[in-house]
Chain A
């Protein structure tokens, strides 16, 4: 298939490349740009491991071709960290509450959480569960992920996190 020349703005930087029209966006990110933070779990649009922001909205990069991203903005997990490698607020909250185990779903989960907090900086628990329901995690049972997003919302809204947040009865 004849290659097509595209330019995609990834994490703020324009990247030009010649790609086959059938190359998926996730393979473009991983294999052409070497941004391996975005993962592949199913390649049929269910697991959400491949989630990235496409013009600021979370999408599944396994269901899209790279050529469709020509001229658009894409952000990946690598783009969440601050220049110099500092963690963003949501990333730091994931670490603090141990919202992950194997880390495979985590980049997609962070994208979903980041997108949620951007459109709704103070989500309810049910809104959080809904916002991450398109991202499967097999390790955590989601509890500590919900806690991380609640903690991030507390911090965004400069609230003292509730001590009962972790649900422990010690």
Chain B
């Protein structure tokens, strides 16, 4: 790979890092506008209650307070936010009116000259509530028609569908064995260190709303315009805001509606920067919260023939896009395995909890955890080695492209080779010996294994799959490349970035194509009005989609340079050759046009241009997702995403038998995301994803009590792993290029996270096996393990 390319695939310094290291990043909280007012929020203390009255008088009387906005006014003035599935009776606004549906839901917004005054006044807003019983348990929400979160909807069920792909019952009947189990994925999220923020400014002279936000969301400007009943071109979202981490969740639509409405109403800029509690309890940024019931049918050699999976997800109080997180896993519902048939029951329910949003992988990590738990259990049942059972079930390299029962075709891969790299890297037999040594010394120890898919490219086929009224099959990304009069190259991209290195990505691909050092190529984040269609960095798609669009735009520039030079050198374009900006006659390289000469022709010398050629030197390209474009079939078979990265994890854990504390002294991963554009970035994504997954497996949970009170509003309750919890991970890279992309690249933005929770759970269960215990509910927290070990202590080794 490194020989084929000059810039691509090399560990080059990124373009973005320097400004962050110097402390000169520009995040939303750094944006200062003259006369800017600040919002503090009044949140519901109840999980479910009727709002009897709101008295804003005392708050309004505070010096420096400009307004107190309640839900009654805002709901009049704006349109409901939309959901990912068709739920016309569930209305959703930034501020509650009439009733509150979760503890932390925003009830009023106080606007003041500074945040300190706004916070003071927020405490003076007197809201009288009549508490109502809350729906807390998702199974109960599913079964009950008595207590409803949204009575008008008539049920707590937001989505429910049974998919059957292939002869499931026949396969179960024919298999030698079957087993079933329940696995639980706890409510956690990505929890960036920067909370969500938005600033809005209404320009009455131009009739336009300018928005700066910490956002990573497709179609953000359109949705703001819809809610505020503005024309699309009356909202301009600025994408040149550095986003302090997102991993899916930075989608604050309600925040933007709130500041947008208030900025227009008050005639001055308004900003809302969530504090940590507002973010955790009221930011609507929780992640999947899932109960899996899984059955698998398998033969004596460990071959898994069929799987039945029921997934019940607790969306919280408002659906948003949450139900769709049950849809994305359809595209890799068998993981990397040749499982021949699948029954998948997807159920999404609402409860009186904070709403969910898209979390890294969009439901992939929980589903992988369930599948991998099944594979471990099959191995345990048959007394076979867990690596061997995976090998026996892997799709073979010679079977690609490979179509899974749910209709998606995997583009390429070599899972056996990646697994071999993993077992070599970890020295698997020696690792098992080290585990046994630790066990002999009186501790619990286990080795965990997981294999996981990372679908990339994002065609959002789950939208039409889960919502028959949605016929979206286009999910594009764009890039513009311009060459100025001095010959310098600038690219425009359509999205804000949250640390994924999009500037580096675009510059590297353009530099590679045109033969210029990416260091000199500038990449600009445009705004929603000046940009071409794009869908933001969701779905591990930017290497594939922005990389592909940048490549195409750069190729157009290169072709233009070739045609201009050929015209002036008196040759056919096929008789010249392009290198590093200059074009020379193939059989007489002394005849050439330099980059400067070509640029001069484009910008000044119309008489030297080929007749009919557009002046200037610029190109734009809008790329559709490879293989995107088809609606799902009747049976729910669909091509979900084009490219499939693969990762295999192996972890060694030690558990202190007294305290239940889990330590991870060793962690290995082997990874295949096709061609790597910048290995430093891919490595960072992988390490960050693994750390996040370790958090989801062992520490992180949005905890609720039985009355629906949220108990994890701070970093003292919601535990993010620190450098002491996260091991130094060793990585082996493998490369199976994708046949579908510009350079063979696949997605890497969600890597690590699909597999690491399953690997850690597998390791903990291997450690518990000698005492005959097992835990299939994440997170596996210290207190829980300590309790389990106490009761099992009679049987301890």
By a beta-carbon cutoff of 8 Å, the part of chain A in contact with chain B is: 20, 22-23, 30, 34-44, 46-47, 49, 76-78, 80-81, 85, 87, 91, 94-107, 110, 125, 129-130, 132-146, 166-170
Nearest opposing residue in chain B for A92, CB measure = B21
| Complex interface: chain B residues within 8 A of A105 (CB) | 193
Bound Cα distance from A39 to B684, whole angstroms: 21
Contact across chains for B17 and A104 when beta carbons are under 8 A apart = no
Contact across chains for A103 and B722 when beta carbons are under 8 A apart = no
Nearest opposing residue in chain B for A77, CB measure = B23
Question: Considering the complex of A and B, which 7 residue pairs feature the smallest CB-CB distances, nearest first?
Answer: A37-B23, A103-B20, A101-B499, A141-B691, A104-B244, A102-B499, A77-B23
| Complex interface: chain A residues within 8 A of B715 (CB) | 42, 44, 46-47, 136
Distance in Å: Cβ of A21 to nearest Cβ of chain B: 11
- 8 Å CB contact of B688 from A35, A44, A138, A166: A138
- 8 Å CB contact of B16 from A103, A146, A170: A103
Contact across chains for A100 and B17 when beta carbons are under 8 A apart = yes
- 8 Å CB contact of B22 from A38, A77, A144, A169: A77
| Complex interface: chain A residues within 8 A of B27 (CB) | 36, 39, 104
Q: A98-B14, A105-B193, A141-B691 are in contact. Are A46 and B499 (CB under 8 A)?
A: no
Bound Cα distance from A97 to B246, whole angstroms: 22
Contact across chains for B276 and A49 when beta carbons are under 8 A apart = no
Contact across chains for A133 and B722 when beta carbons are under 8 A apart = yes
Contact across chains for A43 and B688 when beta carbons are under 8 A apart = no
Contact across chains for A138 and B683 when beta carbons are under 8 A apart = no
Distance in Å: Cβ of B728 to nearest Cβ of chain A: 6
| Complex interface: chain A residues within 8 A of B30 (CB) | 30, 36
Whether B104 sits at the interface, judged by CB under 8 Å, is no
Whether B116 sits at the interface, judged by CB under 8 Å, is yes
Contact across chains for B194 and A144 when beta carbons are under 8 A apart = no
Contact across chains for A140 and B684 when beta carbons are under 8 A apart = yes
Contact across chains for B687 and A143 when beta carbons are under 8 A apart = yes
Q: A77-B23, A106-B21, A170-B733 are in contact. Are A20 and B116 (CB under 8 A)?
A: yes
Most chain B CB inside 10 Å of its own CB: which residue of A77, A99, A129, A138 = A138
CB interface residues, B 715-765, toward A, < 8 Å:
715-716, 720, 722-724, 726, 728-733, 752
Distance in Å: Cβ of B298 to nearest Cβ of chain A: 33
Q: A91-B22, A138-B191, A167-B731 are in contact. Are A98 and B680 (CB under 8 A)?
A: yes
| Complex interface: chain B residues within 8 A of A145 (CB) | 723
Nearest opposing residue in chain A for B246, CB measure = A102
| Complex interface: chain A residues within 8 A of B276 (CB) | 41-44
The total number of A-B Cβ pairs within 8 Å is 199
Nearest opposing residue in chain A for B194, CB measure = A104
| Complex interface: chain B residues within 8 A of A140 (CB) | 684, 687-688, 691
| Complex interface: chain B residues within 8 A of A76 (CB) | 23
Whether B100 sits at the interface, judged by CB under 8 Å, is no
Whether B131 sits at the interface, judged by CB under 8 Å, is no
Contact across chains for A102 and B17 when beta carbons are under 8 A apart = no
Whether B408 sits at the interface, judged by CB under 8 Å, is no
| Complex interface: chain B residues within 8 A of A110 (CB) | 21
Contact across chains for B499 and A95 when beta carbons are under 8 A apart = no
Grouping DSSP codes into helix (H, G, I), strand (E, B) and loop, the B interface class, with mixed when no group exceeds half, is: loop
| Complex interface: chain B residues within 8 A of A107 (CB) | 23
Whether B13 sits at the interface, judged by CB under 8 Å, is yes
Contact across chains for A144 and B16 when beta carbons are under 8 A apart = no
Distance in Å: Cβ of B283 to nearest Cβ of chain A: 13
Contact across chains for B116 and A22 when beta carbons are under 8 A apart = yes
Contact across chains for B684 and A139 when beta carbons are under 8 A apart = yes
Contact across chains for A167 and B193 when beta carbons are under 8 A apart = no
29 CB contacts below 8 A, A to B, read: A36-B29, A37-B22, A41-B194, A42-B714, A44-B714, A44-B715, A85-B22, A87-B18, A94-B21, A95-B13, A98-B11, A100-B20, A101-B498, A102-B194, A102-B498, A103-B244, A103-B499, A110-B21, A125-B728, A135-B723, A138-B247, A138-B720, A141-B687, A141-B752, A142-B726, A143-B729, A144-B687, A166-B11, A167-B731
Distance in Å: Cβ of B89 to nearest Cβ of chain A: 37
| Complex interface: chain A residues within 8 A of B21 (CB) | 87, 91, 94-95, 100, 103, 106, 110
Bound Cα distance from A142 to B723, whole angstroms: 6
Contact across chains for A143 and B728 when beta carbons are under 8 A apart = yes
Contact across chains for A38 and B194 when beta carbons are under 8 A apart = no
Whether B681 sits at the interface, judged by CB under 8 Å, is yes
| Complex interface: chain B residues within 8 A of A106 (CB) | 20-21
| Complex interface: chain A residues within 8 A of B689 (CB) | 141
Bound Cα distance from A49 to B421, whole angstroms: 37
Nearest opposing residue in chain B for A125, CB measure = B728
Whether B258 sits at the interface, judged by CB under 8 Å, is no
| Complex interface: chain B residues within 8 A of A22 (CB) | 116
Bound Cα distance from A135 to B726, whole angstroms: 13
Contact across chains for A104 and B731 when beta carbons are under 8 A apart = no
Bound Cα distance from A91 to B17, whole angstroms: 10
| Complex interface: chain B residues within 8 A of A30 (CB) | 29-30
Whether B423 sits at the interface, judged by CB under 8 Å, is no
Nearest opposing residue in chain B for A35, CB measure = B23
CB interface residues, B 1-51, toward A, < 8 Å:
11, 13-14, 16-27, 29-30, 32
| Given A103-B499, A143-B687: 5 more A-B contacts, CB < 8 Å | A49-B194, A98-B13, A98-B681, A141-B687, A141-B729
Nearest opposing residue in chain A for B694, CB measure = A141
Contact across chains for B729 and A168 when beta carbons are under 8 A apart = no
| Complex interface: chain A residues within 8 A of B501 (CB) | 101
Distance in Å: Cβ of A128 to nearest Cβ of chain B: 8
Distance in Å: Cβ of A66 to nearest Cβ of chain B: 12
Whether B192 sits at the interface, judged by CB under 8 Å, is yes
| Complex interface: chain B residues within 8 A of A78 (CB) | 22-23
- 8 Å CB contact of B193 from A49, A91, A141, A168: A49
Whether B690 sits at the interface, judged by CB under 8 Å, is yes
Whether B171 sits at the interface, judged by CB under 8 Å, is no
Whether B288 sits at the interface, judged by CB under 8 Å, is no
Whether B363 sits at the interface, judged by CB under 8 Å, is no
Whether B692 sits at the interface, judged by CB under 8 Å, is yes
| Complex interface: chain B residues within 8 A of A103 (CB) | 16-17, 19-21, 25, 242, 244, 499
Most chain B CB inside 10 Å of its own CB: which residue of A39, A132, A144 = A39
| Complex interface: chain B residues within 8 A of A130 (CB) | 723-724
Nearest opposing residue in chain A for B19, CB measure = A103
Contact across chains for A98 and B683 when beta carbons are under 8 A apart = yes
Bound Cα distance from A87 to B21, whole angstroms: 8
Q: A146-B723, A146-B728 are in contact. Are A47 and B245 (CB under 8 A)?
A: no
- 8 Å CB contact of B716 from A43, A44, A97: A44
- 8 Å CB contact of B245 from A34, A139, A142: A139
Nearest opposing residue in chain B for A98, CB measure = B680
Nearest opposing residue in chain A for B193, CB measure = A41
| Complex interface: chain B residues within 8 A of A49 (CB) | 193-194
Bound Cα distance from A42 to B277, whole angstroms: 8
Q: A20-B116, A98-B17, A141-B687 are in contact. Are A168 and B731 (CB under 8 A)?
A: yes
Q: A42-B276, A77-B23 are in contact. Are A166 and B683 (CB under 8 A)?
A: yes
Q: A46-B715, A141-B729 are in contact. Are A101 and B684 (CB under 8 A)?
A: yes
Contact across chains for A129 and B731 when beta carbons are under 8 A apart = no
Contact across chains for A104 and B723 when beta carbons are under 8 A apart = no
Distance in Å: Cβ of B274 to nearest Cβ of chain A: 11
Bound Cα distance from A98 to B682, whole angstroms: 10
Bound Cα distance from A80 to B637, whole angstroms: 56
| Complex interface: chain A residues within 8 A of B726 (CB) | 141-143
Most chain B CB inside 10 Å of its own CB: which residue of A34, A81, A106, A170 = A106
Contact across chains for A87 and B22 when beta carbons are under 8 A apart = yes
Distance in Å: Cβ of A75 to nearest Cβ of chain B: 11
| Complex interface: chain A residues within 8 A of B500 (CB) | 101
| Complex interface: chain B residues within 8 A of A170 (CB) | 733
Contact across chains for A97 and B680 when beta carbons are under 8 A apart = yes
| Complex interface: chain A residues within 8 A of B685 (CB) | 101
Whether B484 sits at the interface, judged by CB under 8 Å, is no
Whether B124 sits at the interface, judged by CB under 8 Å, is no
- 8 Å CB contact of B243 from A102, A135, A141: A102
Whether B275 sits at the interface, judged by CB under 8 Å, is yes
Contact across chains for B499 and A139 when beta carbons are under 8 A apart = yes
Bound Cα distance from A97 to B687, whole angstroms: 13
